Amino acid sequence: MAMTKAEAAKLTQDMMLRGVIETIVMESRLLQVLPFMEVTGTALTYNREATMPAASFYDVGDTWTEATPTFTQVTAPLRILGGDADVDNFIEQTYADPNDIEAETIASRAKSVAHRYSGAFFTGDTAVDAKSFDGLTKAIPAGQTASAGANGGQLTLDLMDQMVDLVKPGKPDALFMSKRTRRKLSALRRAGGNLLETDVDQFGQRALYYDGIPILVDDFIPDNQAKGSSGNICSSVYAVKFGMQTGVMGIENGGIQIENIGELETKDATRHRIKWYAALAVFSELGVSRLEGILP
């Protein structure tokens, strides 16, 4: 299993780069848990299992038949994500601690990088933005999708269990949902006489669990999705397994990078560029599922 960004930050010697990675991780619950693998080249091509070879019962003396699995070749191209952070020279020179201004400016840009990746992870669509990558909403097939109703519907525990059961083998590693959906789920459990399990995660944050599965709230799961005639008021829950064989992983080349562009010609400022060649790979479609059409 490849390491997460949280673990990568611990191994980074450059203090500025480590600070940027830590800022990006803390701004995204997704990036706290999503493992990344290093990709050589501009894209990752992998084979996704399509069908298993059939097995049969035989009598003594029967002729055995050979069967082989089939695979679908999938290519996940790396995308260029990032932005420039300009530090005003006058403010940096006159401020009590110049390092604070530089760090705050770069940290602000790092947050936007984290937010942009998180948004694309769930709702990215290359048909809308060809420079982005397809997120889970588009990548999860119909057979791995549970629906609250043709025109949306209220969240139920049965629907949650149905979505969880679509993930194979075993349980998902995480359930991603919006704050609104988490409130709905908590209300359902209270009404049934049970509360969501709680614990403290590796970041010292209070974490909720559903049937032993961590619940990760992400502000980039929208509550304005359309479902039938319901209008743009629905939300979704995503069940995700991580890993190269059974789930999803982030892919990258070179990790998060900070490039010092230097003094600008038309501006009294110094520019830093934060860039990340990254994308998403869904290795197994059975490792993800979605519950869609959840009404307020």
Note the helical H segments in the chain.
5-10, 15-26, 29-33, 89-94, 98-123, 136-139, 157-165, 179-191
pLDDT value, residue 14: 67
CB distance 189 to 196 below 8 Å: yes
Q: Could you tell me the end-to-end alpha-carbon distance of the chain, in angstroms, rounded to an integer?
A: 37
**Whether residue 1 has pLDDT greater than 60:** no
> Which residue did the predictor score with more confidence, 83 or 20?
83
Tell whether pTM > 0.75: yes
Token match 């694309």: residue?
A: 120
- The model's pLDDT over 47-71, given as tens digits with 9 standing for 90+, comes to 988 888 889 999 999 999 988 888 8
295 three-state secondary structure: coil
**Whether residue 13 has pLDDT greater than 80:** no
- The model's pLDDT over 135-187, given as tens digits with 9 standing for 90+, comes to 999 999 999 999 999 999 999 999 999 999 999 999 999 999 999 999 999 99
Q: What are phi and psi of 166, to 5 degrees?
A: -70, -20
For 130, half-sphere exposure in the C-beta direction (CA atoms, 13 angstrom radius) is 0
Report DSSP state, residue 107.
H
Residue ranges per structural domain of the chain: 5-49+73-294
Between 14-28, 126-140, 171-185, the lowest mean confidence (pLDDT) is in 14-28
Which tokens hold the place of 7? 């673990």
Domain 5-49+73-294 top-level CATH class: alpha beta
